[in-house]
């Protein structure tokens, strides 16, 4: 679990009236490898459900991807693959702005300004850096360390108010709120004016905010897990999905009747959560159907459901990936629309910081 952020140098309490701009939704996924069921249930499916609520910005996080080594020959294809997953999951480029992060250079510029707003003590508490850098902290890139500052820039560049993410991103969202508040206080609004940046809300909802590995109920399903058996990839075929579910680690007991009993059985809980999220049902409803049954019954039912729900997404992804020019058209149009929103917000931010305003460069 993530710690609660307690800044070493806390921003003073917010004095200005609350931000009053429109609701905007923003999120992204790193272009760092194949997408898996955790990304689908914890993020993609949520983006699609929310896109009618407010203007939605969804980017492919390629600037984040290079915080760890990437093969330059593959990064472009990985970017298109994430874009294909967005489209195949149901994001509509007519309603949602879909773009590669690196194509909107304002992200990097705002991140620099925020690097000078965030405090080292705040970043030192980020648990994801500790997990990702492991024992070799001094060999990690500086980018991996300041990743959450770039994330704050991604969000606030669009003055996004709502950010759908999985549970693992909660701490980074708290940092974004602290950066926004400190910027508002340090450079903020003239007396009595509302805050310049919103304090964005994480939207962490649904039965699958933290899908766990199929091999270890205590580890998050992750792209970087060395075992491919630990995750269901969005591009896996039906036989592979069925085999992975069949081999998923479980215990020998039948499924219990109550959520209370399920809580103490991490692997069983994870599989029931996956079933519930795929079926759009509550976990209790899944237990009501399968209580007393063993995994010999439950696993084939889960595999069948996973294939039924993911099959059309996989097929559409493959179709789109066979036409990279079409994906590029969507990404280019999205980048243009994103810049139309981002550029004036960055220009105002630059003016607040006091950068030279003598002309356009």
The binding site for ligand AQP (CB under 6 A) comprises 29-30, 32, 38-39, 42-43, 61, 165-166, 168-169, 208-211, 220-224
The yes-or-no answer on residue 299 being catalytic is no
Question: What is the smallest separation between the CB atom of 125 and ligand AQP, expressed in angstroms?
Answer: 18
Toward ligand AQP, which CB reaches closer, 161 or 195? 161
The yes-or-no answer on residue 132 being catalytic is yes
Question: What is the smallest separation between the CB atom of 29 and ligand AQP, expressed in angstroms?
Answer: 4
Cα gap 49→45, rounded to integer Å = 6
Question: What is the smallest separation between the CB atom of 15 and ligand AQP, expressed in angstroms?
Answer: 32
Annotated catalytic residue within 132, 170, 309, 352: 132
Annotated catalytic residue within 223, 283, 299, 352: 223
Q: In the complex, which residue's CB is closest to ligand AQP?
A: 42
Annotated catalytic residue within 45, 182, 220, 244: 220
- Could you tell me the two tokens for 22? 């429109």
Question: What is the smallest separation between the CB atom of 359 and ligand AQP, expressed in angstroms?
Answer: 38
DSSP string across 244-263: HHHHS---SSPP-SSHHHHH
For residue 134, is it left (φ>0), alpha (ψ between -120 and 50) or beta? left
Closest listed residue to residue 299, CA positions, set 335, 264, 275: 275
Alpha helices per DSSP H over 280-359? 283-290, 295-321, 324-353
Cα gap 327→78, rounded to integer Å = 12
Distances, alpha carbon 216 to alpha carbons 89, 167, 203, 233, in Å: 27, 18, 26, 16
Report, as residue numbers or ranges, the catalytic residues. 132, 220, 223
């Amino acid at each position: 679990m993530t710690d609660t952020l307690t800044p070493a140098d806390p921003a003073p309490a917010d004095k200005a009236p609350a931000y009053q701009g429109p609701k905007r939704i923003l999120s992204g996924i790193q272009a760092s490898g194949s997408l898996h069921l955790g990304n689908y249930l914890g993020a993609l499916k949520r983006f699609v459900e929310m896109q009618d609520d407010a203007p939605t910005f969804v980017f492919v996080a390629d600037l984040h991807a290079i915080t760890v080594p990437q093969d330059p020959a593959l990064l472009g294809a990985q970017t298109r693959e994430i874009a294909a997953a967005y489209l195949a999951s149901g994001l509509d480029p007519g309603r949602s702005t879909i773009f590669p992060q690196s194509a909107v250079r304002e992200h990097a510029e705002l991140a620099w300004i925020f690097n000078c707003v965030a405090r080292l003590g705040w970043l030192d508490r980020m648990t994801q850096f500790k997990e990702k850098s492991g024992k070799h902290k001094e060999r990690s890139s500086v980018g991996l360390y300041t990743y959450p500052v770039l994330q704050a820039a991604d969000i606030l560049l669009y003055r996004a108010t709502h950010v759908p993410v999985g549970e693992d991103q909660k701490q980074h969202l708290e940092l974004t709120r602290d950066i926004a508040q400190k910027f508002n206080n340090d450079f903020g609004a003239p007396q009595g004016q509302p805050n310049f940046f919103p304090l964005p809300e994480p939207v962490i909802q649904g039965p699958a905010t933290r899908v766990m590995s199929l091999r270890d109920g205590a580890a998050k399903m992750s792209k970087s897990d060395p075992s491919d058996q630990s995750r269901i990839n969005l591009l896996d075929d039906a036989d592979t999905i069925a085999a992975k579910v069949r081999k998923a680690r479980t215990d020998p007991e039948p499924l219990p009747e109550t959520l209370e009993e399920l809580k103490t059985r991490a692997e069983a809980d994870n599989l029931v959560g996956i079933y519930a999220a795929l079926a759009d049902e509550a976990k209790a409803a899944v237990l009501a159907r399968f209580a007393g049954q063993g995994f010999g019954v439950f696993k084939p039912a889960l595999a069948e459901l996973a294939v039924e729900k993911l099959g059309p997404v996989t097929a559409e992804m493959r179709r789109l990936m066979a036409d990279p020019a079409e994906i590029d058209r969507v990404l280019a149009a999205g980048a243009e629309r994103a810049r139309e929103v981002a550029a004036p917000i960055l220009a105002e931010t630059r003016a607040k910081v006091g950068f030279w305003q003598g002309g356009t460069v």
